[in-house]
Amino acid sequence: MSTTTATVTIRIPTPLRGFTNNQETVEVSGATVGEALQHLVEQFPRLKPHLFNEEGRLRSFVNIYLGDEDIRYLQREATPLKPGAELSIVPSVAGGRL
Protein backbone atom coordinates (compact mmCIF):
# COMPACT_ATOMS: atom_id res chain seq x y z
CA MET A 1 0.00 0.00 0.00
CA SER A 2 1.31 3.42 -0.92
CA THR A 3 2.01 5.87 1.86
CA THR A 4 2.72 8.82 -0.42
CA THR A 5 -0.16 11.26 -0.58
CA ALA A 6 -0.44 13.00 -3.94
CA THR A 7 -2.25 16.16 -4.89
CA VAL A 8 -4.38 15.34 -7.91
CA THR A 9 -6.96 17.07 -10.08
CA ILE A 10 -10.44 15.61 -10.49
CA ARG A 11 -12.39 16.71 -13.58
CA ILE A 12 -16.08 17.13 -12.77
CA PRO A 13 -18.62 16.43 -15.56
CA THR A 14 -21.14 19.16 -16.36
CA PRO A 15 -24.17 17.36 -14.83
CA LEU A 16 -22.39 17.13 -11.44
CA ARG A 17 -20.90 20.63 -11.27
CA GLY A 18 -23.94 21.93 -9.41
CA PHE A 19 -22.70 19.87 -6.46
CA THR A 20 -19.16 21.34 -6.62
CA ASN A 21 -20.04 25.05 -6.73
CA ASN A 22 -19.84 24.85 -10.54
CA GLN A 23 -16.16 23.95 -10.46
CA GLU A 24 -14.90 22.11 -13.54
CA THR A 25 -11.90 20.76 -11.65
CA VAL A 26 -11.19 20.16 -7.97
CA GLU A 27 -7.79 19.51 -6.39
CA VAL A 28 -7.69 16.88 -3.66
CA SER A 29 -5.08 14.73 -2.00
CA GLY A 30 -4.90 10.97 -1.77
CA ALA A 31 -2.54 8.04 -2.12
CA THR A 32 -5.15 6.07 -4.09
CA VAL A 33 -8.13 6.79 -6.32
CA GLY A 34 -10.44 5.78 -3.47
CA GLU A 35 -8.81 8.21 -1.03
CA ALA A 36 -9.01 11.03 -3.56
CA LEU A 37 -12.71 10.36 -4.17
CA GLN A 38 -13.33 10.21 -0.42
CA HIS A 39 -11.68 13.62 0.00
CA LEU A 40 -13.80 14.95 -2.87
CA VAL A 41 -17.08 13.92 -1.23
CA GLU A 42 -15.89 15.19 2.16
CA GLN A 43 -15.35 18.58 0.52
CA PHE A 44 -18.67 18.37 -1.40
CA PRO A 45 -21.04 16.10 0.60
CA ARG A 46 -24.00 16.59 -1.77
CA LEU A 47 -21.94 14.85 -4.47
CA LYS A 48 -21.63 11.59 -2.52
CA PRO A 49 -24.98 9.95 -3.44
CA HIS A 50 -24.27 10.60 -7.10
CA LEU A 51 -20.96 8.70 -6.94
CA PHE A 52 -21.48 6.06 -4.22
CA ASN A 53 -24.30 3.66 -3.34
CA GLU A 54 -25.67 3.04 0.16
CA GLU A 55 -22.92 0.47 0.85
CA GLY A 56 -20.24 3.05 0.04
CA ARG A 57 -19.29 1.43 -3.28
CA LEU A 58 -18.75 3.39 -6.45
CA ARG A 59 -21.97 3.31 -8.47
CA SER A 60 -21.86 1.01 -11.49
CA PHE A 61 -22.74 3.80 -13.93
CA VAL A 62 -19.90 6.05 -12.73
CA ASN A 63 -16.65 5.53 -14.59
CA ILE A 64 -13.40 6.93 -13.24
CA TYR A 65 -10.40 7.45 -15.50
CA LEU A 66 -6.82 8.01 -14.42
CA GLY A 67 -5.49 9.89 -17.41
CA ASP A 68 -6.83 7.78 -20.29
CA GLU A 69 -7.08 4.54 -18.29
CA ASP A 70 -10.35 3.23 -16.84
CA ILE A 71 -9.59 2.32 -13.22
CA ARG A 72 -11.69 -0.86 -13.60
CA TYR A 73 -8.80 -2.24 -15.69
CA LEU A 74 -6.16 -1.08 -13.21
CA GLN A 75 -6.62 -1.64 -9.47
CA ARG A 76 -10.03 0.02 -9.21
CA GLU A 77 -10.24 2.34 -6.17
CA ALA A 78 -6.94 0.92 -4.88
CA THR A 79 -5.10 2.33 -7.92
CA PRO A 80 -2.14 4.36 -6.60
CA LEU A 81 -1.83 8.02 -7.54
CA LYS A 82 1.22 10.09 -8.42
CA PRO A 83 1.44 13.84 -7.76
CA GLY A 84 -0.17 15.82 -10.57
CA ALA A 85 -2.34 12.94 -11.76
CA GLU A 86 -5.69 13.74 -13.33
CA LEU A 87 -8.86 11.79 -12.59
CA SER A 88 -12.00 12.19 -14.69
CA ILE A 89 -15.50 11.28 -13.55
CA VAL A 90 -17.46 10.04 -16.56
CA PRO A 91 -21.09 9.09 -15.96
CA SER A 92 -22.45 6.46 -18.34
CA VAL A 93 -24.97 7.67 -20.89
CA ALA A 94 -27.78 5.32 -21.86
CA GLY A 95 -31.13 5.21 -23.55
CA GLY A 96 -32.83 7.43 -26.05
CA ARG A 97 -33.13 7.38 -29.81
CA LEU A 98 -31.28 9.42 -32.37
Q: Note the pLDDT tens digit of each residue in 5-55.
A: 889 999 999 999 999 999 999 999 999 999 999 999 999 999 999 999 999
Whether 63 is in a domain gets the answer yes
Whether 98 is in a domain gets the answer no
Whether 96 is in a domain gets the answer no
pTM of the model: 0.87
Q: What is the pLDDT of residue 81?
A: 96
CATH code at 43?
3.10.20.30
Whether 15 is in a domain gets the answer yes
Does residue 21 contact residue 32 with C-beta atoms inside 8 Å?
no
Beta strands in 14-73 (DSSP E): 25-30, 62-66, 69-70
- Number of separate domains in the chain: 1
The pLDDT of residue 94 is above 60: no
- Contacts of residue 14, Cβ cutoff 8 Å, sequence gap at least 6: none
Q: What is the pLDDT of residue 2?
A: 45
Whether 33 is in a domain gets the answer yes
Higher pLDDT: 96 or 84? It is: 84
Its domain, for residue 66, covers: 6-91
